[in-house]
Amino acid sequence: MCLFKRLFDKMLALIDEKRQVTMAMISAPIKDIQFLAEQLFNLEQHYQKIPKYTDIDAATFETVVEEASKFLFEFAAPLNRNADEQGCRIKDGHVTTPDGFVELYKNYCESGWSSLDGNPDYDGQGLSYWLQTIIGELNCYYCAGWSNYPGLTHGVRELLEQHARKELQQQYLPKLTTGEWTGTMCLTEPHCGTDLGLLKTSAKPNEDDSYQISGTKIFITSGDHGLTDNIIHLVLARLPDAPKGTKGISLFVVPKFLDGKRNNVWPASIEHKMGLNGSATCVMNFDDAKGYLIGEANKGLNIMFSMMNGARLNTGIQGMALSSASYLGALEYAKDRLQMRSLTGVKYPEKAADPIIVHPDVRRMLLTQKALSEGNRALTYFTTQQIELSRHAEDEETRKRAHEMVQILTPIVKAFMTEMGLEATNLGIQIFGGHGYISEHGMEQLYRDAKIFTLYEGTTGIQALDLLGRKIMQFNRGSLGPIADEINQFIQQNPDNPYTQELGDYMQQWQEIIIEVSKKSMKNMDEMGAASVDFLMYSGYVLLAFFWAQMYQSADKGGRFGQSFYNGKKKTCDFYFKRILPRAQAHVKTMQSGSANLMEMLEDEF
């Protein structure tokens, strides 16, 4: 517990030392986070299954989350609007982040947030991945443009721990763990995005164990900045004798500074973007930059997937975080903004008009935001628990089962949650009306920031093909695997839940859809492509139905969060099943329509 005390003493000292600008946003929904952790997913019971985390109890968990939220509210939230307006700048090959980011990053690392779940062997605190995931959620909630700097570093650190040789681990992991250095992943090139088999960046071996890396990478998040003394790039490149395509890709660690000297890797420019302007997105030139091989030659793409999958999960979480921020901002506005009178009679006679929250259509939008953001948070935490079990559970069968679930859940988390993030932030603008379209209230910034999450780490279409083609059809041979077992078990054990019968019907339909698409795809693979996005969205809606049914069950039992809180959960569940879940049937009809309505039109007929 001394680690916790040291962490919070530092954090509180920093807040007392510097009181920044007042509230730039609404505080994160800590009660919702704790409700899920304690009551829905029983964190203490979960951690009893993982020996290394058995001392994490509900009080510890809540303390960490609350103090992280206080820190970020104090130091990160006030920077959010300026980060968007000022953006990043580049001059003479050096990128500068928005004002305040350098100090924020320094305080963040000194307070211990960057090292929360880090390996104690490398100066980490050894806490749980789930807690670190929530820190990532809060980072994005309070200042999305800032959140990528610590977020990607976390992924670089994990990859090196899993795949790098001991010498490289000892050289890079201590400072990556504490946050003294940051990290990037360099995949995309001007001529190739998702199809990495086309990449041209080269790696030529030197006489020692190093390589000369040459090529240009684009869309590199946090590619350059002044937050740290060094940046550690993970770079995909080809050796001279490498096979063509994805089987000839190797992975290298290429630091910005090596042995105190500047390596020959430079930002050529930064992208001018629709949103997320506080995050430096760079074009990076590698000109015989010195790097070192990670793992086996020509196995780089397989290794990089360990970080890419983590990045996809984090991207989904970012979509959920902005959904939540938009909802809470819109809710506060709807309670204050006066506009017309209620259709059923005056509700606030002492006011010139009623608050817009009395109007059915405003409630439709607010409840949609609430149902999507809170449902997706449940999906996030469930997935995070499965990741922890897949890594640390004592018995092999539990680890295998959890791994299978994570494989299927990852593309859904990434794609469904980011698409819903875009919908929720769009509704936030709509609730504000004209005030949402101007920058003063920050709602249009949330929408612009959220858009990129549907694109990077693989677009929605790419995630959908991965889910249906690789995870369901190839790996699971047409089965939903342990996810179906998990949901069906809940249905069987809770026959009195008013939503389990409908959920059971959807589970049966989900499997029938897989069989139908599989049969069609055997004759024409375009059927797979035509159905994939609708299948992914259908899957997301059914999963959220599962979690809302669970939240209803938990809320019905009550607890320490107050009756109005639990009533709100139960009524949101009812809203979800009656007004959101029916969307799934539209996706069924679209899938059943087949590929002909997409593919028969000739190119010159467009």
Q: Which residues are catalytic?
A: 457
Of the candidates 366, 356, 378, 372, the residue with the CA atom closest to the CA atom of residue 327: 366
State residue 24 phi and psi, 5-degree precision.
-105, -15
Angle, CA 377 vertex, CA 60 and CA 425 arms, to 5°: 130
Spatial CA neighbour of 357 closest among 324, 332, 374: 332
- What is the distance of C-alpha 217 from the center of its chain? 23
Integer Cα distance of 125 and 113 in angstroms: 9
In contact, 215 and 139? CB cutoff 8 Å: no
Residue 302: its H or E element: helix 300-336
**CB neighbour class for 10 (10 Å; exposed up to 12, middle 13-18, buried from 19):** middle
**Distance, CA of 528 to CA of 533 (rounded, Å):** 10
The DSSP line for 109-172 is HHTTSTTTT--GGGT-----HHHHHHHHHHHHHH-HHHHHHHHHHHHHHHHHHHHS-HHHHHHH
Chain centroid, CA 108 distance in Å: 20
- Separation between Cα atoms, residue 479 and residue 514, nearest integer Å: 8
Answer for the pair 393, 399: CB distance below 8 angstroms, yes or no: yes
**Beta-strand (E) ranges in 334-442?**
none
Task: Report yes or no: 219 and 169 within 8 Å, Cβ to Cβ.
Answer: no
Assess contact for 524 and 583: CB atoms under 8 A.
no
CA–CA separation, 218 and 195 (whole Å)? 14
Using alpha carbons, select from 410, 375, 321, 370 the residue that is nearest to residue 499: 375
β-strand partners of 183: 232
b/e burial code for range 436-448 (CB count within 10 A of at least 16 → b): beeeebbbbbbbb
Rounded CA separation 76/148 (Å): 13
Q: Measure the CA–CA gap between 549 and 507, rounded to whole angstroms.
A: 13
